[in-house]
Structure 1
């Protein structure tokens, strides 16, 4: 991840409306017109690359000097097509994907449609960050391949994932303890005495010697 230089003024809070994001910032960015403060308000970055949403979040939060997680981040990014000749967009990000949650909503200014707003959720069922990141994607009707995005952190989803993971760990511990208790509760095997013959009693060497002497006296 490349370092980006930011110098936001003290106490600066960036909170544009949907119409401002599309009709002003995105329009001027596409037209390559300079806008004061746009470099740190809406940096350009690939949101469909190899970095995870939380990696992007932590990196730019640190660069912006923001400690509040309830403050959204904004980015200019370019959409990627799955194939060079196709129209489907590749929504992968890191080891997960940006899963669309709606078909898009119109952005209207002075009774005129200027763009579209779509909502996405981070999907990765193998990660404890599953569902913990929300992205709103804003596009102009004339330029659908270049967009401005707003990313926010979903604390309720992340806390829910954390509780679920803790419950899974506790369940595994209970299973292990239960298995140990089952082994401890099994009765110990009883010692089996050696088998003895039920026919003739065993004759010892001393008894054989006495019997031999008695037979000798009889002659």
Structure 2
């Protein structure tokens, strides 16, 4: 991708500006920009490290003060929600789910003070039965609301949202490796009678018992302990 960005340029839009960009997208006046691409964040095979690994995605450091090494980077994308109903949205993404971390908060216009949008935060969590693993990915999701939403009509696609995605490089690689192990474990499960699958961490135990005493077989797949997700302001 050709890079003709001026030296020192930083893409740091305000929340009101993000809502304005989204309004242009929803009203069919904008497809995407150099700094806000359209990506599919939900559905089968939509693990974030795969979806956001394309060359056209522009990552920026969250902290570019130069005071120390930063492991957090961010990118902006448009995505289309997978609506199950008027009030329910499918949040699965590959082997994981984007889980809500906060309630929704209003975004107001600076001049009018009117509500023009809303936002919430979600984090990527790998699913494995009762085991849930966070690590390194969060979304700040923005959507049209209030005055801007009320002015739309049926020709406008309100399923679009704009997302600021933050990745902590020090954490997400461990989750990515755990996901790979989970896929391998699921493939091997077909031929392993007597083993109960628990992906990403706990040892699989043989449930068959001998008449005199229990005989256990280990199908180990240990998971590195992951730290909790740290937000990036």
State how many pairs are aligned: 153
- Preserved CA contact (<8 Å) 2:95 2:127: no
The verdict on how the C-alpha distance between 1:158 and 1:30 changes in structure 2, with shifts beyond 3 A counting, is closer
Structure 1 vs Structure 2 CA RMSD: 3.3
Q: Which has the higher strand share?
A: 2
Q: Which residue of 2 aligns with 1:56?
A: 51
Q: Please report how far the alpha carbon of residue 138 of structure 1 lies from its aligned counterpart in structure 2 after TM superposition.
A: 0.2
The verdict on how the C-alpha distance between 1:90 and 1:6 changes in structure 2, with shifts beyond 3 A counting, is farther
Q: Which residue of 2 aligns with 1:45?
A: 39
Instruction: Provide TM-score, normalisation by structure 1.
Output: 0.58
Q: Which has the higher helix share?
A: 1
Q: Which residue of 2 aligns with 1:134?
A: 138
- Preserved CA contact (<8 Å) 2:73 2:168: no
Query: How far does the alpha carbon of each residue in 1:39-73 deviate from its partner, in whole angstroms, 9 at most, with x for none?
Result: 211111111132211122322xx335758563411
SS in 2 for 1:55: helix
SS in 2 for 1:130: strand
SS in 2 for 1:76: strand
Q: What are structure 1's unaligned runs of at least 5 residues?
A: 163-171, 173-219
Instruction: Provide TM-score, normalisation by structure 2.
Output: 0.55
Q: Please report how far the alpha carbon of residue 148 of structure 1 lies from its aligned counterpart in structure 2 after TM superposition.
A: 0.5
Following TM superposition, the consecutive aligned residue runs of length 4 or more in structure 1 with deviations greater than 4 angstroms are 5-8, 64-69, 125-129, 155-162
Greater C-alpha radius of gyration = 1
Q: What are structure 2's unaligned runs of at least 5 residues?
A: 62-70, 150-156, 177-202, 204-233
